[in-house]
Amino acid sequence: MVLRAFLIGCVALQMTAAGADDNSFFAARRKALMEKIEGSIAVLKGATETSSYTAFRQDNNFYYLTGVETPGAILLLDGIRKRSILFLPPRSEEIENWEGPRLYPGREARNATGIDQVLEISEFERELEKRKENLDRLYLPLSPIETAAVSRDRALKHEELTSRDVWEGRISREAALGQSLRARLGSVPIVDLSPVLDEMRRVKDAQEIARLREAARIGALGIKEAMRSAAPGMYEYQLAALAHFVFLWEGASGFAFHPIVGSGPNSCILHYSANGRRMSEGDLVVMDFGPDYRYYVSDITRTFPISGKFRREQAEVYQAVLDAQKAAIAKIRPGATFADLADAVDKALDRHGYARFLNHGVSHYLGMSTHDVGSVEPFVPGVVITIEPGVYMPDRNLGVRIEDTVLVTTDGCEILSKDVPKDIAEIEALMAQKGIAATIMN
């Protein structure tokens, strides 16, 4: 998925989900955060029940620090006493009846989560009250909550539009939370926790890297299946469905962002989402999609001819974009910046006279969100980025984008999405194979 700005940084546990191994990662993150807010406390409010019949997905920050996937939870991190308290809604027979068992306040939840104390949500105010005396500040994340398929750029835009809407204009959830807390805290200032969490989340730990690697493996498998099955006469949504099927089959909870499958003229629409066009001989298809696997995502784009063979003009543009992508990947290492990658892409495309046909940013951080948090550079080992140059020529119905998910290592990088071919001969060989669509349609 493409970043709007030219460069971002030119400058369950639902009783079961997380296990003991996972808990040690969550505990380490809470410990690290409490060190950063030494002498203060932080409050995070998790996602509430969904307003639709979709699966509950916890807020990224809340999950990052707890692994807890229970709706309506609050986390208090006490950086003075170095203790964490989780607040959960009380047991409800009705909810259990409909939704199954949940995590409830008490010893069982403490054992399952490894969090120091698990109290009922009604206790939160008293615990806050206890701590407000002599408190120098309270940290609260002020950036928008991130649940399924949410990235901050999009969420901020939505927030801005909502606040400016003459008819439904209202303050954000985070601003409202801040107001409620302020009313109870008196003169204690509220400080934004988001930049602190952003910088922690920017650099991935071993658990995160393992999940990102799996998300990229699943993403690659899905895109490969779509390429294998692609044939003239199919609809764009059918390619999306094939990849989505593979994502779910492999254990992803859903997608990282709505699928982008643009054929022919739609290949030039950066975030094309209708996916309704019937594809025909000669079309080039830009497919940009990725799964959400245990709160970590991948973001992969491949461009391929629906018939399985590139036409000469298509191959020429494609090769230029591929050269640019490879030139940029060669620059990815600790110390490099987004500007270095943009520069490598620009120089490579310029050699072919195509630089002016690129109208979006070519790289962004990726992790729990597709356009992940973190505005700090240069890269360090453990950050994950995407690299996605493109060339778009609407006059010729010809759009090409190639995107991989890449982990920065100590001595260079590892292309996590390397399983999907991108060289012309390899793409044509993959597309000559029989895909599962042939079985579904017969």
Residues that bind Mn ion (CB under 5 A): 1, 299, 386
Q: How far is the CB of 50 from Mn ion (least distance, A)?
A: 26
- Assess contact for 299 and 370: CB atoms under 8 A: yes
Q: How far is the CB of 364 from Mn ion (least distance, A)?
A: 6
Other beta carbons less than 10 A from residue 202's beta carbon: 20
Quote the tokens at residue 277.
């066009």
Q: How far is the CB of 351 from Mn ion (least distance, A)?
A: 24
- Whose Cβ is closer to Mn ion: residue 1's or residue 33's? 1
- Whose Cβ is closer to Mn ion: residue 58's or residue 386's? 386
Q: How far is the CB of 370 from Mn ion (least distance, A)?
A: 6
Distance CA 104, CA 98 (A): 16
Torsions phi, psi for 155 (to 5 deg): -65, -40
Q: How far is the CB of 401 from Mn ion (least distance, A)?
A: 9
Distance CA 306, CA 427 (A): 11
Q: How far is the CB of 325 from Mn ion (least distance, A)?
A: 12
Distance CA 6, CA 329 (A): 18
- Whose Cβ is closer to Mn ion: residue 227's or residue 362's? 362
- Whose Cβ is closer to Mn ion: residue 65's or residue 366's? 366
Distance CA 69, CA 86 (A): 12
Quote the tokens at residue 202.
């920017």
Q: Where are the beta strands (DSSP E) in 187-346?
A: 190-192, 254-255, 260-263, 284-289, 291-293, 296-297, 300-305
- Whose Cβ is closer to Mn ion: residue 42's or residue 387's? 387
Alpha helices in 84-205 (DSSP H): 93-99, 107-113, 124-132, 152-164, 173-185, 194-202
Q: How far is the CB of 386 from Mn ion (least distance, A)?
A: 4
Rg (CA), the chain: 23
- Whose Cβ is closer to Mn ion: residue 387's or residue 431's? 387
Sheet holding 291-293, edge to edge: 254-255, 291-293, 296-297
Contacts of 231 (CB under 8 A, 6+ apart): 306, 307, 308, 437
Sheet holding 41-45, edge to edge: 117-120, 83-88, 74-78, 41-45, 138-140, 190-192
Angle at 366 between CA 294 and CA 329, to 5 degrees: 130
Q: Specify the residue for token string 């991190």.
A: 77
Q: How far is the CB of 183 from Mn ion (least distance, A)?
A: 41
- CA 421, distance to chain mean position in Å, is 23
- Whose Cβ is closer to Mn ion: residue 8's or residue 430's? 8
- Whose Cβ is closer to Mn ion: residue 18's or residue 344's? 344
- Whose Cβ is closer to Mn ion: residue 217's or residue 371's? 371
- Whose Cβ is closer to Mn ion: residue 1's or residue 297's? 1
Q: How far is the CB of 263 from Mn ion (least distance, A)?
A: 19
- CA 186, distance to chain mean position in Å, is 36
Q: How far is the CB of 402 from Mn ion (least distance, A)?
A: 11
- Whose Cβ is closer to Mn ion: residue 275's or residue 405's? 405
Q: How far is the CB of 257 from Mn ion (least distance, A)?
A: 9
- Assess contact for 13 and 68: CB atoms under 8 A: yes
